[in-house]
Amino acid sequence: MVNLDDLYREILLDHYRRPRNRGPLETANASAEGSNPLCGDEITLELQLDDDGRIADVAFTGDGCSISQASSSLMTEYVRGRKSDEATSAIDAFQAMMIEGEEAPEELGDIGALAGVRKFPMRVKCASLAWKTLELALAQHDRHDDATRATVTTDERSTSNG
Amino acid sequence: MNSDGGFDIERIRRDFPVLKREVNGRPLVYLDNAATSHRPVQVMAEITRFYRDINSNIHRGVHTLSVEATERFEAVRERMRDFIGAPHASEIIFTRNTTESINLVAHAWGRTFLEAGDEVLISEIEHHSNIVPWQMLRDARGIALRHIPMLPDGTLDLDEARRLIGPRTKLLSITLMSNALGTIVPVAELAELARAQGARVLVDAAQAAPHMPIDVGDLGADFLACSAHKMLGPTGVGVLWGRRELLEEMPPFLGGGDMIASVSLEESTWNELPHKFEAGTPNIAGVVGFGAALDYLEAVGMDAIRSHEVDLTSYALDRLIDVPGVTLYGPLDPELRGGVVSFGLEGVHPHDIGQVLDGEGVAIRAGHHCAQPVMRRLDIAATARASFYLYNTREEVDVLEAAVREAADFFGGFGG
Ligand SMILES: Cc1ncc(COP(=O)(O)O)c(C=O)c1O
């Protein structure tokens, strides 16, 4: 039997209701868009990376379910001020937690609250969207092609059971 | 008997064992009928009987089982003819689903008879399966694809439709009932305008056929498509009806067994209707089971089903409109819509509504319902959608309403 409290942990509802780092970022030099078309989750992530690869500032905009928005808020809170390779390890740790069910490392802090999402397989892609978008924004910055904004879209598998 | 007069809901519900199921510790309230319906025991029994007692391929053997299988299969063609008021049973073609039926027309008719400069007219409220095949045809043949716009209440802009239907219009391909908003489209009126311009008319009846009486003559249709799985039948069975003259001049869609008259290694001649369009072994048991579904629907009566759903829909609209933060999409007059209620809740994403409702045993759909143009027009990413059928009750609508209120409380503090 599902217990909704496993999914909607209080800390997640708090980030949904009062998202951190929400809004456009004027000083951004890297950005990416992510979407889950089937559920209608969308985020635009903007990063300001300084010359030594530190994420000096970060912000997101978008619309979507509580899980996708809370995950975005938590992610931005975590990566702000960190080096991009630390962000990359966090992406890996998050994926390991989400996909392989590994314990969340202590240092991810509140992000560990998203572990309960695993019990709701349909929601895993909602939680993962922010992290996939971050991965894309970092990759785009590495290629120095700030002109175009990268986009990630989860594959739309079921298209006709409407 | 009960207050609906003749419509014995308790008896109907007994025929659908899944309705006795519990989900997350609560009795199942199944309100996702626009996606697929449940099947009554009569349909499952018919399929089991077929596999147990007959089970042979059709149209090929002289042996008794094959003859019996062929008779059962062909009898359903006649049942379907009668169900939609078509002139000839040979005009009923069994496919896999509505999507395949529409693609069949786009290929066999569209690629043969349409050329650059011709126009196919659809509407803004179509299911993706009545959009994408025409975009593919457009890209292959250089035809133009136009659409009748949707008004804010989810109905179509009929003035604009009158302007759009003209001498270049070769096909009007339109839904009779929107799966996203429930809107019932005045197809007969639009078909008359289209036919006056010499255009053909394809009706997507995937949502309408399960829920209201259909007559292809009254609609003024040339083609009609629907799916058994939304009308108490099994998955994997669809229907395309087409007027005989049109089907006869169309080349086959798929090539193979059953659809030929004779084959040499150089060339083949086509079988007669409907076999020309039924290549390969079809879903025989599924079609036979679909026959039991049609029997069930007719025994209850399509008019009775429609009035039951009008009652449930108006009750649901009344209940939900009072819930703070709820936005209802689609026409508010229950006579102008099918049993589909699409809604939003301020501050709560449809996905989260669906999750909280599932916790209460209530199955609804959250998403774009394969109608992204509708979502774009309403400037939303998704809706929550409850859709009814003959076995749903007002009590279940009460459970829905309570669960929606719970979702509002749970995510609390938005919009009041
Ligand atoms: C209006 C409408 N058209 C077409 C379809 C496609 O039906 P199917 O998936 O059975 O091909 C659906 C079902 O989702 C529908 O609601």
Mean pLDDT of B339-353: 95
**What is the identity of the amino acid at B346?**
E
| Among B178, B227, B239, residue to substitute to test ligand 1 (most atoms within 8 Å of Cβ) | B227
Tell me if A160 CB under 6 Å of ligand 1.
Answer: yes
pLDDT-derived band at B250, boundaries 50, 70, 90: very high
- Residue of the nearest CA to atom 7 in ligand 1? B98
Pairing of strands B223-227, B29-30: unpaired
DSSP state of B319: H
Q: Choose among A8, A63, A160: nearest Cβ to B370.
A: A160
Report the nearest-CA residue for atom 9 of ligand 1.
Answer: A160
Query: What local confidence, expressed as pLDDT, does residue A160 receive?
Result: 36
b/e per residue, A113-125, with b = 16+ CB within 10 A? bbbbbbebeebbb
Binned at pLDDT 50, 70 and 90, residue A161 comes out as very low
Residue B235 pLDDT exceeds 60: yes
Q: Tokens standing for B82?
A: 């009668």
Reported in sequence order, the residue ranges of B141-283 that DSSP labels E, i.e. its strands, are: 144-148, 169-175, 200-204, 223-227, 238-242, 260-263, 268-270
Could you read off the pLDDT of B126-173 as tens digits, one per residue? 999 999 999 999 999 999 999 999 999 999 999 999 999 999 999 999
Q: What is the pLDDT of residues A123-157, one digit of tens each?
A: 999 999 999 999 999 998 888 655 557 777 764 44
User: Per-residue pLDDT for B366 more than 50?
Assistant: yes
CB of B367 within 8 Å of a chain A CB? The answer is: yes
Chosen CATH of A4-143 out of 3.90.1010.10, 3.30.565.10, 2.60.40.10, 3.40.50.2300: 3.90.1010.10
How many CB atoms lie under 10 A from the CB of residue B321?
A: 12
Compute the distance from residue A131 Cα to the ligand 1 centre, in Å. 34
- Chain A CA closest to residue B364: A162
For chain A, domain boundaries: 4-143
Cβ contact A162–B179 (<8 Å): yes
Does any ligand 1 atom lie closer than 6 A to the CB of residue B127? Answer: yes
Q: Is the C-alpha dihedral spanning B202, B206, B208, B214 positive or negative?
A: positive
| Closest to B343 measured CA to CA, from B330, B329, B358 | B329
pLDDT digits (tens, 9 = 90+) for A25-66: 999 999 999 998 877 889 999 999 999 999 999 999 999 999
Cα(B283) to centroid(ligand 1), Å: 18
Q: Alpha-carbon distance B316 to B396, whole Å?
A: 10
The closest alpha carbon to B347, from B414, B277, B405, B267, belongs to B414
Amino acid A147: pLDDT: 52
- Chain B residue numbers with beta carbons less than 8 Å from the beta carbon of A17 are 411, 413
Domain ranges for chain B, please list them.
9-38+302-411, 44-299
pLDDT > 80? residue B382: yes
> Helix-strand-coil percent breakdown of chain B, rounded to 5?
45, 20, 35
B9-38+302-411, what's its fold? Aspartate Aminotransferase, domain 1 (3.90.1150)
- The pTM of this model reads 0.92
Please state which CATH number belongs to domain B44-299. Answer: 3.40.640.10
**Average pLDDT of the segment spanning B230-240:** 98
DSSP percent split of chain A into helix, strand, coil, nearest 5:
50, 20, 30
pLDDT value at residue A158: 35
